[in-house]
Amino acid sequence: MSELEIEIDVLPAPVKLRPGTAPAKEILVLPVTGPQGPPGPPGTGTANPYVHTQSAPAGTWSITHNLGRIPQVTVLNDNNEVVIADITHSSNNALSIVFASPQSGAAYLI
């Protein structure tokens, strides 16, 4: 196996580091602060999730959430178990959830 050598060329003199050896000079790392970057894009609004509660079992849940976007949907039954279903987003503000058998529980839209 060959030996790895790292050379850091900084003022006042370069420093060579080899595995298993201490540097011949003390190394001081200073943080460098640059200019502030541009602002990021606006958020997606996930801070305001929508929760739909379905108390009576139904094979299809029709939900109007008015989030103005296509949300991620997680469905839990009354036992807090994840339920697999077919989800159709009819618009940025509404969706339907179709189950293999009638379900009650809650849909969490984020």
Domain parsing of the chain, residue ranges: 50-109
Reading the block at residue 49, the tokens are: 């999730």
What predicted TM-score, i.e. pTM, was given to this entire model? 0.59
Contact (Cβ atoms closer than 8 angstroms) between residue 15 and residue 8? yes
Q: Which pLDDT belongs to residue 7?
A: 55
Return the higher-pLDDT residue of 84 and 10: 84
Q: How many helices (H) and strands (E) does the chain have?
A: 0, 6
Give the lowest-confidence range in 3-12, 17-26, 33-42, 96-105: 3-12
Q: Which amino acid is at 85?
A: A
Mean pLDDT taken over the chain: 83
Q: What is the mean pLDDT of residues 32-52?
A: 81
pLDDT in tens, 44-77: 655 678 999 999 999 999 999 999 999 999 999 9
